[in-house]
A = this chain, B = another copy of it.
Amino acid sequence: MQIHDHFVELIASGEWESGKLLESENELARKLAVSVGTVRKALDVLEAGHLVSRRQGRGTTVNDQSSDEFNIHFSNLRIGDGQRVTGTISSVDVEEAEADANEQRQLKLKKGDTVFRCVRVREYHGRRFMFERLAITKKLLPDLDEAQFSIARVVAIAAKRNGILLGTGTEKVCVNTADPEVSKALSIAPGTPLLRLDRVINMMDGMPLEWRVADCHLQEKYYMTDFV
């Protein structure tokens, strides 16, 4: 884990930039004065966290956490044969505010901390299907401004700029019905049953960074999980 954390630091600091082909396991082991097995295990953990990709005969490369391939693993929405989908953003509304009680609890903030609040609509193949409300800890992303929220994966991109690495997340799923605001945004009848996705994404140190509550009109899409 010491070696792992060292590697995380190298990635977060930008010393290991995304796309870079790392030195071989043997070289890393020699430079860090540990066994290759130890380097291997650290890289295994990094790979499990989607931070690097490894291929026999080729080497180990650093993944870009602002890329779509990285971020799509935070979506359990799927289509057709099981491919994950996120859609694209079709409308945005941003404000900056003091965190309310819920935001303080979800993002582990103190009274008086500020958040970005963002309301967005996502569409897929030209059809609006998701109404999402985001709350993002502002102090961790000081260079983030309201103009940027129209692009997908803002948080991941801003996190990368600020040397923050995304880690785990949890999502609660339940059923909700369209209130007037949502029904208008998605052009569906009020009261339409929707899938509500309540998701928190944490940083690698375990602290939450983004809280999203999304109401989702599934249409041909479905939510899927695996049991192991």
Contact = CB atoms under 8 A, between A and B. Distances in A.
Interface string A183-227: 000000000011100000100000000000000001000111111
A175 B218 contact: yes
A168 B225 CA distance: 11
Interface string A166-182: 00111111111100000
Contact of A225 (B48, B171, B194): B171
A74 interface: yes
Contact of A193 (B48, B175, B225): B175
Contacts of A193: 175-177, 193
B173 A195 contact: yes
Contacts of A169: 226-227
Nearest to A194: B175
Contacts of A73: 227
A76 interface: yes
A147 interface: no
Nearest to A37: B37
Contacts of A48: 228
A19 interface: no
Contacts of A176: 193
B177 A223 contact: no
B225 A174 contact: no
B168 A224 contact: no
B175 A224 contact: no
Given A73-B227, A168-B228, A193-B193, A222 B173 contact: yes
Interface of A: 48-49, 73-74, 76, 168-177, 193-195, 201, 218, 222-228
Given A169-B226, A169-B227, A173-B195, 17 more contacts: A49-B228, A76-B225, A168-B227, A168-B228, A170-B224, A170-B227, A171-B225, A171-B227, A172-B223, A173-B224, A174-B218, A174-B223, A175-B175, A175-B194, A177-B193, A193-B193, A201-B227
